[in-house]
A and B are shown apart, each in its own frame.
Chain A
């Protein structure tokens, strides 16, 4: 039957099929393209439908009606001993979590999903006054009266007129957010971190947050934080966040007291917030002997003996609860909470809370270690699906453009598949993984006598680092050949002195001992390119060449790319032009060259990109360059920006021809930037070669943060080249150096004679960027084993002549102006002052730490005494100001790698 009539498709999207039906359908989907298309249409329609419906304004009962209902309810009640809970209406695959029915309807207009919880809910102790003017300040923000210690209503927005004035005296008021649509930004980030999310944010997240510098960054972090935990991003409401604030409110209402502390800070509050409502509460407000049947409990397990011993037994007299200090409380109020499972206590866990001070503050009566185990949520920060092993943190792409949430496709749930059903964890099996890296052998030590010169091309690509990050965040160590140490070191910004005079860059050298081999010296050569005032940069003529083949469909690819492009276009202005060319099967011009003040038109074209089909990269590239040449402006930045996962697997893809064409165009002034996306089909070596020959740079974009870094923060560097074909040649002084080793740059080595050969291609430097190279030197007098060349028979050996020269080495740089053809020379020398490593600058030590990390990941034969622990401690001590938090993030990655490494 035609799939368009098949109700299973809708049921599948809504999670209504049984497991069997789902499996059967998935088999059919895998085999049938028309079925998949039909499914995609269903999804899309459902997305619109939901969005359209949620945009409606809410309607409520009248206040008098509510009062009537509540007063009827309060009359004639009977005592209930346990709380009731509501079954879930979610389609999420929740196995561990106690689910509560969440029927939050925040329906106030085009900004759905923004949580209405007053951010100060947590900070107001019970009995406090109404929150300050964090409500948007809309006049007439009505008060909702409530009964004694009512939890703050975190669920709904209501129009101001719906809620009546205060009900009766003695009841606390609560102000409401009356504004439709907009969420208030968090007013106090300190409180947000230390109170609202104190129990659910991981230590790493907290540390990153503290390092953020601007409110914009914090705002985005907050959004991201909640988005990551949203179990069903396809719905408008963030169910996790709503529930979290509900719990806080509940805790404040129930567990706090004016005398001691707000509810959320108490033990019971904490447990409630982290683990949710217990299955059952047994309450003994008058102490042990008011309870009915008593049961003795074992001190070790906290469980009654029949359970501790695994046998059902008769009940024995209950012992009074044990206090943390070992005493017992015979007549203090206590409560027992039961959970189906708790970490540290296992299944059928029971928690005892005692109030020895008789002031309403209950304490958890456990050994301090047990208490700590319960209070630490070890996997805080992981979403439910990640905890179940069904998704990876790597899949947390950052979908937000600040202030422009509508740009995100609602019909694309975070997990491909049924909304709420997480995508199965992708195993990195050897067969399915078609990533391809060129093999790299670490540069060995070479003797200065035989090889006094080291020549290589400058490199500012950073893709290797993002790629490594992607692996580590996904829980795997990267393949050794994916680790290019120079790209890792160059990922970070260093504070080198900028150039003066007319040279496009400055050279800054520093020398100290090598931390992994204290007998050896480490020399860092740092190049800093001229900054460019972005306000006065030349206009840009950009062509986006986008791979829309089927493999780009993954959420880490095309959707992330779309967000990245929107970002870039936001930075451009009316004198810039962009065009979009796609390639997949047939190539097409999706957007002709358009000035960048027509942002809507461009955004629309970007939004409509869809993946499907196979790739014929060559035809697309041809078209893209043609478009770029049509609008070529000698005074502008003319660039093709290729965005792909490197999958050139169909059609005529003679790499040689392709590369020749790219080189030719580069000569004519159209440069190439390559942005790599996604994992699994990621052809690293192809992409690097293309960028190289195209006189451009190459970055791997694995997260929205990375997109921002490449396309916004380093926009100048990405677009504006200040020098091209930059080569470096270092000559070592044999009076001081016996042998040396260039760390990294294995792919970039040049023959010594290439240095002066202007026809030989080399790397580019973009405006404002830094380039760093590290040499490890063996000083004279330190023994080293290197194969030596036999003395020559027909020539006399060269004698060192500069033995009185104190210089350690001289670095020469050749470069061309971006539109020039002849190179210029710059040179600089360094004298070693025997500085110990610990006295070197922060930048030096941090770079060394990164290099060590690279060597560890590659298991390099030259890693010496390097260890993950050393890397971490060195890096932590040399973080410096760290704008953007990238160095801090590096430390996090090293920790991850350490864990993965020891776990092997």
Chain B
């Protein structure tokens, strides 16, 4: 019979569950793959020093927060900071553009490109939400913003994304009248 509850077990699980997404997150913050990996490695090494009970229930938060802190340190050293609370000038909203019809497949392919055009802080929270599936609360803890702020940023980000996707969309071949 194996003894259970060995420390290495929970670290291993954490690694398997979050290793990849943390690496991607770090990469989105620092841009350099090797540096990102180093940051993530440090994060997990730090985790080894934690008592599992103390992070129980909010492991994701903890990992992302620690990872982010290190990544921000790295950015600071390079002078690439950005302010999360900055409010963009452009008005963003969901104006319907009735003449542009989006083909779903095209939209998906363009998402990457459109994401990159968004301001950095919107990108970050969008990724935390939609790639790493953190809740608003967790994102708030990770980034240090208020939950309301997070909600705003995400909504703005989604709206901005949609506008960018729609302005890129090509009109389509067949003559179609929108019937509504």
Bound-complex Cα distance A399 to B45 (A)? 45
Chain A residues positioned under 8 Å from B133 (CB to CB): 89, 103, 235
Whether the pair A83, B5 counts as a contact (CB closer than 8 A) is yes
- Known contacts A48-B107, A59-B33, A585 near B180 by CB under 8 Å: yes
> What 0/1 pattern do residues 124 to 166 of B give for CB contact below 8 A with A?
0011011111111010000000000001101110110110010
Smallest CB gap from A62: residue in B: B37
Question: Which of A73, A74, A254 neighbours the largest number of chain B CB atoms within 10 Å of its CB?
Answer: A73
Chain A residues positioned under 8 Å from B173 (CB to CB): 601
Q: State how many angstroms separate the Cβ of B2 from the closest Cβ of chain A.
A: 7
Chain A positions near chain B (C-beta within 8 angstroms) = 2-11, 14, 16, 37-38, 41-42, 44-46, 48-56, 58-62, 65-66, 68-70, 72-74, 77-87, 89, 91, 101-105, 107, 148-149, 153, 155-156, 158, 235, 254, 281, 283, 285, 333, 360, 406, 409-411, 548, 582, 584-592, 601, 604-605, 607-608, 610, 612-613
Whether the pair A79, B94 counts as a contact (CB closer than 8 A) is no
Chain B residues positioned under 8 Å from A605 (CB to CB): 174, 176
Smallest CB gap from A64: residue in B: B41
Indicate whether B108 reaches chain A with its CB closer than 8 angstroms: yes
Indicate whether B103 reaches chain A with its CB closer than 8 angstroms: yes
Whether the pair B96, A37 counts as a contact (CB closer than 8 A) is yes
Among candidates B45, B161, B176, residue contacting A608 with C-beta atoms closer than 8 Å: B176
Bound-complex Cα distance A495 to B28 (A)? 64
Whether the pair A582, B129 counts as a contact (CB closer than 8 A) is no
Q: State how many angstroms separate the Cβ of B58 from the closest Cβ of chain A.
A: 7
Whether the pair A7, B154 counts as a contact (CB closer than 8 A) is yes
Smallest CB gap from A73: residue in B: B11
Whether the pair A53, B127 counts as a contact (CB closer than 8 A) is yes
Whether the pair A69, B41 counts as a contact (CB closer than 8 A) is yes
Can you list 29 A-B contacts (CB < 8 A)?
A: A7-B154, A11-B154, A45-B161, A45-B162, A49-B126, A52-B115, A53-B131, A55-B108, A56-B112, A58-B20, A61-B37, A73-B7, A73-B12, A74-B7, A74-B8, A78-B7, A79-B3, A79-B5, A81-B5, A83-B5, A84-B10, A86-B60, A102-B17, A103-B132, A104-B17, A149-B2, A254-B2, A285-B1, A333-B1
Chain A residues positioned under 8 Å from B126 (CB to CB): 49
> What 0/1 pattern do residues 15 to 43 of B give for CB contact below 8 A with A?
11111110110010000010011001100
Among candidates A65, A85, A283, residue contacting B37 with C-beta atoms closer than 8 Å: A65
Bound-complex Cα distance A334 to B99 (A)? 70
Indicate whether B95 reaches chain A with its CB closer than 8 angstroms: yes
Q: State how many angstroms separate the Cβ of B140 from the closest Cβ of chain A.
A: 11
Q: State how many angstroms separate the Cβ of B15 from the closest Cβ of chain A.
A: 6
Chain B residues positioned under 8 Å from A49 (CB to CB): 111, 126, 130, 158, 161
Whether the pair A409, B179 counts as a contact (CB closer than 8 A) is no
Indicate whether B78 reaches chain A with its CB closer than 8 angstroms: no
Whether the pair A59, B27 counts as a contact (CB closer than 8 A) is yes
Chain A residues positioned under 8 Å from B111 (CB to CB): 48-49, 51-53
Chain B residues positioned under 8 Å from A78 (CB to CB): 7
Whether the pair A38, B94 counts as a contact (CB closer than 8 A) is yes
Main SS of the interface on chain B? helix
Indicate whether B177 reaches chain A with its CB closer than 8 angstroms: yes
Whether the pair A283, B93 counts as a contact (CB closer than 8 A) is no
Whether the pair A5, B135 counts as a contact (CB closer than 8 A) is no
Bound-complex Cα distance A16 to B115 (A)? 22
- Known contacts A10-B154, A586-B179, A103 near B60 by CB under 8 Å: yes
Bound-complex Cα distance A586 to B179 (A)? 7
Indicate whether B171 reaches chain A with its CB closer than 8 angstroms: no
Indicate whether B53 reaches chain A with its CB closer than 8 angstroms: yes
Among candidates B17, B59, B132, B179, residue contacting A155 with C-beta atoms closer than 8 Å: B17
Chain B positions near chain A (C-beta within 8 angstroms) = 1-8, 10-12, 15-21, 23-24, 27, 33, 36-37, 40-41, 44-45, 48, 52-53, 56-60, 92-96, 101, 103-105, 107-112, 115, 126-127, 129-136, 138, 151-152, 154-156, 158-159, 161-162, 165, 172-177, 179-180
Question: Which 4 interchain pairs have the tightest Cβ spacing?
Answer: A52-B111, A80-B5, A4-B94, A77-B7
- Known contacts A11-B155, A14-B129, A79-B3, A103 near B17 by CB under 8 Å: yes
Bound-complex Cα distance A852 to B28 (A)? 67
- Known contacts A61-B23, A80-B6, A612-B180, A68 near B41 by CB under 8 Å: yes
Whether the pair A60, B23 counts as a contact (CB closer than 8 A) is yes
Among candidates A45, A101, A589, residue contacting B158 with C-beta atoms closer than 8 Å: A45
Bound-complex Cα distance A83 to B52 (A)? 10
Question: Which of A14, A56, A83 neighbours the largest number of chain B CB atoms within 10 Å of its CB?
Answer: A14
Bound-complex Cα distance A9 to B58 (A)? 26
Question: Which of A4, A6, A582 neighbours the largest number of chain B CB atoms within 10 Å of its CB?
Answer: A4
Whether the pair A2, B93 counts as a contact (CB closer than 8 A) is yes
Bound-complex Cα distance A6 to B154 (A)? 11
Q: State how many angstroms separate the Cβ of B162 from the closest Cβ of chain A.
A: 4
Question: Which of A5, A58, A585 neighbours the largest number of chain B CB atoms within 10 Å of its CB?
Answer: A5
Chain B residues positioned under 8 Å from A16 (CB to CB): 135-136, 151
Q: State how many angstroms separate the Cβ of B102 from the closest Cβ of chain A.
A: 8
Q: State how many angstroms separate the Cβ of A180 from the closest Cβ of chain B.
A: 14
Chain A residues positioned under 8 Å from B109 (CB to CB): 52
Whether the pair A11, B151 counts as a contact (CB closer than 8 A) is yes
Chain A residues positioned under 8 Å from B108 (CB to CB): 48, 51-52, 55
Question: Which of A104, A158, A235 neighbours the largest number of chain B CB atoms within 10 Å of its CB?
Answer: A104
Smallest CB gap from B127: residue in A: A53
Bound-complex Cα distance A53 to B155 (A)? 17
Whether the pair B4, A283 counts as a contact (CB closer than 8 A) is yes
Q: State how many angstroms separate the Cβ of B24 from the closest Cβ of chain A.
A: 6
Q: State how many angstroms separate the Cβ of A261 from the closest Cβ of chain B.
A: 16
Whether the pair A588, B52 counts as a contact (CB closer than 8 A) is no
Q: State how many angstroms separate the Cβ of A259 from the closest Cβ of chain B.
A: 13
Chain B residues positioned under 8 Å from A588 (CB to CB): 177, 179
Q: State how many angstroms separate the Cβ of B97 from the closest Cβ of chain A.
A: 10
Question: Which of A59, A101, A582, A607 neighbours the largest number of chain B CB atoms within 10 Å of its CB?
Answer: A59
Chain B residues positioned under 8 Å from A51 (CB to CB): 108, 111
